[in-house]
Amino acid sequence: MKTLLLTEKHRLGIGGVAIGTAFENITDEEAHNILQTAWNSGIRYYDTSPWYGLTKSERRFGDFLKDKDHDEFIFSTKVGRLFRQVPESEVPPTMWKNPLNYDFEHNYTADAVKRSIDESLQRTGLDHIDIVYIHDLSEDQVGDRYPYFLKQAREGAFKVLSELRNEGVIKAWGMGVNKIEPILDCIESADPDICLSATQYSILEHEDAVDRLLPAVKKAGVQLVSGAGYNSGYVTGKERYNYKDVIPKGMEQKRARIMAIAEKYKINIVDAALHFVLASEEFVSIIPGASKPEQVQNNVQALHAQIPLGFWQELKAEGLIYEKAEVPQ
């Protein structure tokens, strides 16, 4: 029996990429204000990773959450990289604007997973971690070493996380990846509970996930959490797509047309993007990040927005949404 950890009250969470200084150099105080706004708004699912800001985001989440009653919230973090402190001159180039002084290596062995969890507990000051995602075990992150690391995870991470769950050390585990194949590979050879599916399912791009990912997780009884449901800001008007500066061909026109139809129905494309993801029964939560408190408030407002049925019908009629995709009823 799968652990159904995320419920109706966790449909909107907050992710930790932006708080790890992915897009701008957010200060500790700004990070605290973002998280405080999330808490005050009723958000009770918090997701981060030691990768974000080279352990910075995880520490910030921990500083905020460690004095809260852990029965009140769900916390997830990730394994798959080990970190070691280095001089500032040896910090590798990454996507983070102001990371801490750490270098890292990918490692999906059982010992590395246990060490990673111990270090996350030390960094956050929390008494336990609810959900552990195996992070970035996918070709877009590890390249042609994917088969090597997948074998390592099958013999290590997959088994040890199931053992830790069965012992009650963690409550659930799964993959946290930007591609579909790793989730399918994991389901085939292990028993994950929940997977963080980033950049695979959004109002702008979802066809492959509808055909291959959603049927597989439904059959396996695995829940999905949506990361980058706004394509890392592209839906909201930022000129980056899935954490990269290269915008896929035709995407600008697609976004503009959806925005025009949204305007006609007097709604916001962000509201529509959030409701589109959550209309799929496989997705139990969406966890957009935030660089400012107002973005958290906008996400909360989006969750409660009413989207006219005619909007979805028009998107489908124009082929802007895949005919097989679920939309809100």
Clarify whether 118 is annotated catalytic: no
The CA distance from 187 to 222, in Å, is 8
Choose among 142, 137, 169: nearest CA to 154.
137
DSSP annotation of 49 reads -
Set 45, 56, 78, 133: catalytic member = 78
CA 244 from chain centre, in angstroms, equals 16
Handedness of CA 155, 1, 223, 52 (dihedral sign): negative
Tell me the pairing of strands 223-227 and 131-135. Answer: unpaired
6 in Cβ contact with 225 (< 8 Å): yes
The CA distance from 193 to 170, in Å, is 11
97 in Cβ contact with 23 (< 8 Å): yes
Set 46, 52, 146, 234: catalytic member = 52
Cβ atoms within 10 Å, residue 235: 24
Cβ atoms within 10 Å, residue 106: 17
Set 46, 47, 136, 230: catalytic member = 47
The CA distance from 267 to 242, in Å, is 24
Element spanning 163, H or E: helix 157-166
Q: Angle at Cα 13 formed by Cα 10 and Cα 15, nearest 5°?
A: 150
Clarify whether 63 is annotated catalytic: no
DSSP annotation of 47 reads E
Helix (H, G, I), strand (E, B) or coil at 221: coil
Clarify whether 78 is annotated catalytic: yes
Choose among 302, 291, 307: nearest CA to 240.
291
Which positions are catalytic?
Answer: 47, 52, 78
